[in-house]
Amino acid sequence: MQEAHLFQHLIWKKRGPFAEVNGKRVPAGPFHYAFHFDQALVGAWLRKKAKGIRHLDAQVTGVETGGDGVAALHLDTGERVDGDLFIDASGFRRRLVSELPFEWVSFSEMLPNNRALPFWLDLKDGEEIDPVTGAWAQGHGWMWKIPTQGRFGCGYVFCDAYISIEEAQAEIERALGHPIEPRGDIRINPGRQPGRLGGERRGGGACVVLPRAAGGDLDPRDHRAAHLPDGVDGPAGGRGALQRHRRSASGGLSGLRAAALRVGAA
């Protein structure tokens, strides 16, 4: 089955979905690739390019709400910041939207993975960078491996009802054959917060949720599909869609060891 798919051959040959036509690089399709960014480097680049913008490096300690929106933020520097528009890009913490009067719709009964152990792997000298994101099945979940120009961003996604964080680290170290240095302990509550992606405003400041972990999340494998958090309602979506997702995910788990979920540039 794998051999019948174009992407499997691209993975084996470490190539991206492009062709050379009359000396020009032509993509094999409109949605066959995505880009990975080192967020620290992108953040530094944006700060250098931004003009007329005040940058505050601080922790949010409090959120003032008005109506159904955010009115102001309180920072650990003692400063209060008010505004008309706030963007929650805090990921799984959902620091702003968690203060709003909207119920979180959890999908945990159908998607049990609720923990992630992120870590980095260094690129060896002269090592070729695979143009894919790898997903590697493990005993109690799966490991992602995302290539960038300087390192691999990795992590183990699992359910802590069956294995502890310490046991998860030991399992990954056995699989890799060397120790790792965990860079955090991510708690995942798969689900969505409905009605927030549009930045609604009802008497208070608007709060726009970036459509990834802050606004809704199923599983890190679904980060290729940022439209999902606000698009699983209705007869064709909702719990039925999640049941189909779970069946396809569990049914294909053994094949994830050699699978690539995202193909990057050539």
Summarize pLDDT for 100-137 with one digit per residue, the tens: 877 778 888 888 889 999 999 998 888 888 778 888 99
43 phi/psi in degrees, rounded to 5: -60, -40
Q: What pLDDT digit, counting tens, does each position of 169-178 carry?
A: 999 999 999 9
The per-residue pLDDT for 205 is 54
Average pLDDT over residues 228-257: 34
Beta bridge mates, 70: 65
103 burial class (0-12, 13-18, 19+ CB within 10 angstroms)? exposed
91 has a pLDDT exceeding 90 = no
What tokens does 81 get?
A: 């910041």
The architecture (CATH level 2) of 39-106+193-217 comes to 3-Layer(bba) Sandwich (3.50)
Task: Give the chain's count of helices (H) and strands (E).
Answer: 4, 16
Average pLDDT over residues 48-72: 87
> Which residue type does 244 have?
R
CB 127 within 8 A of CB 103: no
| pTM (two decimals) | 0.65
Question: Where do the domains of the chain lie?
Answer: 1-33+115-187+233-266, 39-106+193-217
213 has a pLDDT exceeding 70 = no
Nearest to 192 by CA among 87, 90, 106: 106
